[in-house]
Structure 1
């Protein structure tokens, strides 16, 4: 994954309904990002034009009006993998939410380089 700031747009799979978006930074094997309700921290590795990693999602703000995809009171662990180009990436993941898993797909678009 190229170092940079990315927009991320997530959709749930397996017949579940849900979407989310935010920003995420990939830099030298570390992932940080967030949206209006959640923040993400994790790590990743790269081989050729593929990447894989682990992310922990935590809620920073509760909302009575919105229901974030992974917005429960407990942190959610996510395994991700994907492919990338110089400008964008596609990613699939599995989030372990309580006793169940949620599959999702995401598209990422690089917004800015990070040195």
Structure 2
């Protein structure tokens, strides 16, 4: 896995089928030395990760910095993401759970941009 800046795309997972739904958010994250930091126009992300070969485990707090109408995403009041995935030289594919939305899952695609 390369350290640096990544483009992040967020997708909800259908709890009945486990299939990935439509993209509902985009942002950027800086991933390096066990730390994840980033954000988008409404939220900032802060967390930690561990890497074992190509296997990634992470816990990320998603916190609003700009007020939004309720009901648009599972993050309006903040949430914690617990995710697992695989990493390679060009990106990371991961998925997991959203603390404020039990039963719903999230998939995240990260594409490396620059160190």
Shorter-chain TM-score category? 0.7 to 0.9
The whole-number CA distance in structure 1 between the counterparts of 2:106 and 2:79 is 14
Moved beyond 6 Å, runs of 4+: none
Q: Which moved more, 1:46-55 or 1:15-24?
A: 15-24
Count of aligned residue pairs for this structure pair: 110
Pairing of 1:19-58 with structure 2 (within 5 A) = 19-58=24-63
Pairing of 1:35-114 with structure 2 (within 5 A) = 35-64=40-69, 67=72, 69-73=73-77, 75-97=78-100, 100-113=102-115
The whole-number CA distance in structure 1 between the counterparts of 2:85 and 2:14 is 18
Give structure 1 stretches of 5+ with no counterpart.
none
| 1:12–1:58 CA distance, 2 compared to 1 (3 A) | same
State the shift of 1:71 in Å. Answer: 3.0
Quote the residue 2:18 is aligned against.
Answer: none
TM-score (norm 1): 0.84
Give structure 2 stretches of 5+ with no counterpart.
16-20
TM-superposition CA deviations, 1:18-49 (whole Å, max 9, x none): 61110011110000011110111000000001
The whole-number CA distance in structure 2 between the counterparts of 1:110 and 1:20 is 17
TM-superposition CA deviations, 1:69-107 (whole Å, max 9, x none): 33322x311101111111111010211116x34301111
The whole-number CA distance in structure 2 between the counterparts of 1:43 and 1:28 is 9
User: Residue 97 of structure 1: SS of its match in structure 2?
Assistant: coil
